[in-house]
């Protein structure tokens, strides 16, 4: 069996803890466990974890505080597990640097698939501890299932050629280095935020449904006929909200991300006043 590294399970419910340990061990991880938050932080630190499953409702400190402490020293993939799927919990988890969010009860197969999808996106080593949580990026994920149309490329928007750079209204995204520049200023995005922005840029204005964007974030985890939960779609909405905040979008005149009510999102039209600049590369 392939050795996938170290996983840490932080969970106070013995039955769920044993289930998680078994699933991860069978997947190829060396697994360590903790029953409360403070011990969990130290287990992650001492064992240099690659993957952490983290319950929100812990007996001492809650999972959000555990996540904050872990992000001070580790870029391990963190999957939050909870029986609650309200939007404030999603916001707190994703804004705090979680990579994924799974509601209880969960299917072991789904957990394995989500962890496998994350592990296919190589981790970016933390080299600036003072950086805000969630601001690092990772290596490229698999291309989205819908690609770029052939033909004419309008001024101000470029398709990725050999350089792998997409540009739109003063924004440049480099898919090779997973970097984004806006008006010549680097923008720090999480893995999921980058994948969503990349997908919308590749769509060239085509509407992407929330389900399309869930699949973009999950890579090849979801087939087109797979069930996508309300929590999955709410997570996409949270990521889009974070993207807009980082891009400093004007809600009345968006420069990059437009909402299509009841459907999803699309790239905003090209602007004639968008600056012409070389961008990345």
**pLDDT per residue of the chain (281 residues) written in tens, 0 to 9:** 567 899 999 999 999 999 999 999 998 999 999 999 999 999 999 999 999 999 998 999 999 999 999 999 998 999 988 876 666 777 777 777 888 888 888 888 888 888 887 776 655 443 333 333 333 333 333 333 323 333 334 445 555 444 579 999 999 999 888 899 998 899 988 878 888 999 999 988 899 998 888 888 776 555 565 667 777 788 888 889 889 999 999 988 999 999 999 899 999 998 876 554 444 44
The helix or strand, by DSSP H or E, that contains position 232, with its residue range, turns out to be helix 230-247
Contacts of 13 by beta carbon, 8 Å cutoff, 6+ apart: 55
DSSP letter for 26, please: H
Cα–Cα distance between 140 and 125 in angstroms, integer?
Answer: 15
Confidence (pLDDT) at 257: 93
CA separation for the pair 104, 101 (Å, rounded):
10
Asked whether the beta carbons of 241 and 249 are under 8 A apart, the reply is: no
The pLDDT assigned to 85 comes to 60
Neighbours of 196 (CB within 10 A): 25
The distance between the two most distant Cα atoms of the chain, rounded to a whole number of Å, is 60
Q: What pLDDT does residue 279 have?
A: 42
Do residues 179 and 279 lie in contact, with contact meaning Cβ atoms separated by under 8 Å? no
- pLDDT at residue number 226: 62
Which sign does the torsion angle of CA 71, 76, 81, 84 carry? positive
Structure tokens belonging to residue 25: 């061990």
- Cα 197–202–206 angle (5° rounding)? 95
Look up the pTM and report it.
0.58
Report the C-alpha gap between 90 and 56 in whole angstroms: 11
7-22 exposure pattern, b = at least 16 Cβ within 10 A, e = fewer: bbbbbbeeebbebbbe
Q: List, edge to edge, every strand of the sheet that includes 257-260.
A: 208-209, 264-267, 257-260
Q: Which domains does the chain have, with CATH numbers?
A: 5-119 (3.40.50.2300), 157-267 (1.10.10.10)
Residue 160 confidence (pLDDT):
47
Per-residue model confidence (pLDDT) at position 33: 97
Element (H, E) at 70: helix 63-71
DSSP, residue by residue, 88-123:
HHHHHHHHTT-SEEEESS--HHHHHHHHHHHHTSPP
């Amino acid at each position: 069996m392939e050795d996938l590294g170290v996983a840490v399970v932080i969970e106070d419910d013995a039955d769920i803890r044993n289930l998680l340990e078994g699933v991860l061990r069978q997947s190829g991880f060396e697994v360590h466990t903790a029953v409360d938050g403070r011990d969990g932080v130290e287990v992650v630190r001492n064992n240099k974890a690659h993957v952490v499953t983290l319950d929100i409702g812990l007996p001492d400190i809650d999972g959000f505080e555990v996540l904050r402490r872990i992000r001070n020293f580790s870029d391990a993939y963190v999957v939050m597990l909870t029986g609650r799927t309200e939007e404030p919990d999603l916001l707190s988890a994703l804004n705090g640097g979680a990579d994924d969010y799974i509601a209880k009860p969960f299917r072991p197969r789904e957990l394995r698939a989500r962890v496998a999808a994350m592990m296919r996106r190589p981790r970016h080593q933390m080299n600036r501890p003072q950086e805000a949580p969630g601001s690092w990026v990772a290596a490229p994920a698999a291309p989205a299932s819908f690609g770029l149309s052939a033909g004419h490329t309008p001024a101000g928007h470029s398709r990725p050629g050999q350089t792998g750079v997409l540009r739109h209204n003063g924004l440049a995204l480099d898919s090779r280095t997973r970097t984004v520049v806006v008006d010549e200023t680097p923008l720090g995005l999480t893995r999921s935020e980058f994948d969503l922005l990349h997908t919308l840029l590749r769509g060239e204005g085509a509407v992407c449904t929330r389900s399309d964007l869930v699949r973009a974030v999950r890579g090849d985890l979801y087939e087109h006929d797979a069930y996508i939960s309300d929590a999955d779609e709410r997570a996409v909405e949270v990521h889009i909200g974070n993207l807009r905040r980082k891009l400093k979008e004007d809600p009345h005149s968006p420069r990059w991300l437009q909402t299509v009510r009841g459907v999803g999102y699309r790239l905003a039209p090209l602007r004639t006043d968008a600056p012409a600049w070389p961008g990345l590369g």
